[in-house]
Chain A
Amino acid sequence: MTRRRLLLGGAATAAVVLVKSSFGKMVQTGIPEAAFDPTRQVGPLPGVLGTRSPFEHPQRKPSLTSSQTPLQDLYGMITPSDLHFERHHAGVPAIDPNSYELMIHGMVDKPTVFSLADLKRFPSVSRICFIECSGNFRKPDKENITPQDICGLTSQSEWTGVMLSTLFREVGIHPKATWFLAEGSDAAVMTRSIPVSKGWEDAMIVYAQNGEAIRPQQGYPARLLLPGWEGNTSVKWIRRIELSDGPFMTREETSKYTEPVKDGKIRQFSFTMDARSIITYPAYPAQLQKGWVEIRGLAWSGRGKVQKVEISTDAGKTWNAARLQEPVLDKAHTYFRYLWQWNGDTTAIMSRAIDETGYVQPALQELFAARGLGTGYHLNPVTAWLIKRDGQVVYSPEKWK
């Protein structure tokens, strides 16, 4: 079969394939049914960019305010950059890296403006960690929802940039400066107040994600990265850091990203993401067959390393340790696996993460008992998947408030 015929396409198509057109552009085209034999057809020659197989369609799920990572379609600890979740408050800004600047001022000795090139000249550091939105929770209201629906607002990348402590030393932080404001240059000019101690501990200004320039949706050309803290604090498109002697009480740390707790109180500056896990396989919409099943999923903690993941295949009556995939990193998604033999009976399977502080991922009702019913952010309950007799795997709806 000639390339020309491929491009024109046949009547019935069984699949699509990528071919290079006469203009050198990659195009998808149909393959006539029962005609395709890859050993009899020279494929596309090397190109400038790689592509996914036309048979694979992992997609984020967008709403007006966010788009969620398809956790159930992934196999490892790194989230492909184009599948990293998005959450922003006024869209993705278009920023020219040549005119980009980061200003650090306020209670500092030397108020300074850094260009992107300046930031890249400093000693650089790479680290792998997750970013999770503190609103990463889905009300367990129906059976047909996926891991992506339940907690797709967490993703993991290798981030590269300069330690904020390096920049702090460069500008000279006043001893009485206790907080800093981080401000983005999106249309919400979004701001959060951050304790200076986090800046010295492990905060970074990052300009690269998984080995290449950070994507616009993740903060191009540079963002703040606060490992283990609620995603909103890792301010994207960062343009300004103002050192101060107190928090600024911005909208995102008062009206939003706070949660009602017991006795009518409202909890503020709840930065750290508590330990959590989710089984990503088998999960809705998977269909099981009797026999051996490898249960797989992700566990993480904003307080350090995942120490252990326990699996229950009998609706929480007994728990057994899963195998953790190395490397198990600080404040990072950790992939777990657990081999199980399904005998065909109806049951519920669930996972719980235990981090190095000894914290055990709670059940939803335990969170309600601790905080009251008004809680909303920072919900990290154990997620159960119900396995029906016919092998259908569905989310297990729980009583909600």
Chain B
Amino acid sequence: MPFWACVAGTLMIACERRNTAMPEHFGYGRPATEKEIAAIAIAIHPDGKGLPAGSGTVQNGALIYAAKCAACHGATGVEGPYNILVAPDTVDAPPFDKAPKRIKAIGNYWPYATTIFDYVRRAMPFNAPGSLSDNEVYSVTAWLLYANKLIGANAVMNAKTLPAVVMPARKYYVTDSRKGGDGPYE
């Protein structure tokens, strides 16, 4: 090895040694402003945190649904062709693990009503996501909850009433407990 390469190699090793400890902060990036955060942080928590002002009714929701949702989800939410949204929970329905063909929809499978608002606002209608006003999203949410027999025809959905809607499927949810290993399959 030529002398210069040896010296360079030694120096590099010395440099690496000095730099092995990673700094706590690199100082990259820039602070996010309150305004920036408010503009992008659209997620709704299951307790309703993040829900905007405004409200919606079942009646208005029915009109919006018919105009903007029914083409994909069916006139009453059960016809398709895409995701079926309406399937009220019924006392005598067989449990899902014994009825593989049972339809899973908002009324019998969704554990939180807030998810409807969050999802419709961010992703629907499929051909124009993000185009509905907050009041329109509240209304569509109200109609979907009504069609699934979860609220009455005169109920008004807003930041306070929506998280309070009782969802029958919530009691069935369990967190994954699979661990691998040679125990019984889960």
**CB of B150, distance to nearest CB on chain A (Å):** 15
A401 interfacial by beta-carbon distance below 8 Å: yes
A189 interfacial by beta-carbon distance below 8 Å: yes
Interface bits A366-401 vs B (CB < 8 Å: 1, else 0)? 110111111100000000000000000000000001
A269 interfacial by beta-carbon distance below 8 Å: yes
Chain A, residue nearest B182 (CB) = A358
Q: How far is the CA of A269 from the CA of B178 in the complex (A)?
A: 10
- Other-chain contact of A90, B36, B96, B126, B186 (Cβ < 8 Å): B126
Q: Is the CB of A251 within 8 A of B178?
A: no
A324 interfacial by beta-carbon distance below 8 Å: no
- Residues of chain B within 8 A (CB-CB) of A267 are 174-176
Q: Is the CB of B97 within 8 A of A268?
A: no
Q: How far is the CA of A372 from the CA of B119 in the complex (A)?
A: 29
Interface bits B132-167 vs A (CB < 8 Å: 1, else 0)? 000000000000000000000000000000000000
Chain B, residue nearest A119 (CB) = B28
- Other-chain contact of B32, A105, A191, A375 (Cβ < 8 Å): A105
A38 interfacial by beta-carbon distance below 8 Å: no
Q: Is the CB of A254 within 8 A of B112?
A: yes
Q: Is the CB of B22 within 8 A of A123?
A: yes
How many interface residues does chain B have, given as a range? 35 or more
Grouping DSSP codes into helix (H, G, I), strand (E, B) and loop, the B interface class, with mixed when no group exceeds half, is loop
A89 interfacial by beta-carbon distance below 8 Å: yes
Interface bits A175-210 vs B (CB < 8 Å: 1, else 0)? 000000101000111110000000000000000000
Chain B, residue nearest A251 (CB) = B119
A327 interfacial by beta-carbon distance below 8 Å: no
A36 interfacial by beta-carbon distance below 8 Å: no
- Other-chain contact of A255, B109, B126, B178, B179 (Cβ < 8 Å): B109
Chain B, residue nearest A115 (CB) = B29
B98 interfacial by beta-carbon distance below 8 Å: yes
A260 interfacial by beta-carbon distance below 8 Å: yes
- Other-chain contact of B186, A169, A190, A260, A370 (Cβ < 8 Å): A370
**CB of B24, distance to nearest CB on chain A (Å):** 6
A25 interfacial by beta-carbon distance below 8 Å: no
Query: Contacts A248-B45, A263-B97 given: A112-B32 contact, CB under 8 Å?
Result: yes
Q: How far is the CA of A129 from the CA of B72 in the complex (A)?
A: 37
Q: Is the CB of A263 within 8 A of B122?
A: no
Chain A, residue nearest B23 (CB) = A169
Q: How far is the CA of A247 from the CA of B47 in the complex (A)?
A: 11
Q: Is the CB of A401 within 8 A of B123?
A: no
Q: Is the CB of B176 within 8 A of A268?
A: yes
Q: How far is the CA of A187 from the CA of B109 in the complex (A)?
A: 25
Q: Which of A104, A170, A248, A369 counts the most B-chain CB atoms under 10 A from its CB?
A: A248
Tally of A interface residues using CB under 8 Å: 72
- Other-chain contact of A266, B36, B109, B186 (Cβ < 8 Å): B109
**CB of A362, distance to nearest CB on chain B (Å):** 5
Q: How far is the CA of A374 from the CA of B95 in the complex (A)?
A: 9
**CB of B111, distance to nearest CB on chain A (Å):** 5
Interface bits B91-127 vs A (CB < 8 Å: 1, else 0)? 0000111111010101001111011001100110010
Q: Is the CB of A271 within 8 A of B45?
A: no
Q: Is the CB of B174 within 8 A of A265?
A: yes
A146 interfacial by beta-carbon distance below 8 Å: no
A149 interfacial by beta-carbon distance below 8 Å: no
Chain B, residue nearest A303 (CB) = B180
- Other-chain contact of B172, A190, A264, A303, A373 (Cβ < 8 Å): A264
Interface bits B37-56 vs A (CB < 8 Å: 1, else 0)? 10011111110000000000
Measured CB to CB, the residues of A under 8 A from B are 89-90, 103-106, 110-115, 118, 121-123, 166, 169-170, 181, 183, 187-191, 239-240, 242, 244, 246-251, 254-255, 258, 260-272, 274-275, 301, 303, 355, 357-360, 362, 366-367, 369-375, 401
7 A-B pairs closest in CB distance: A372-B97, A264-B95, A260-B96, A357-B180, A370-B185, A270-B176, A111-B32
Could you name 8 residue pairs across A and B whose Cβ atoms are closer than 8 Å? Answer: A121-B26, A188-B122, A244-B45, A248-B45, A249-B46, A264-B172, A266-B174, A370-B185
Measured CB to CB, the residues of B under 8 A from A are 22, 24-26, 28-32, 36-37, 40-46, 95-100, 102, 104, 106, 109-112, 114-115, 118-119, 122-123, 126, 129-130, 169, 172-176, 178-182, 184-186
Q: A112-B32, A187-B129, A266-B111 are in contact. List 4 more A-B contacts (CB 8 A).
A: A255-B104, A264-B95, A265-B174, A272-B178
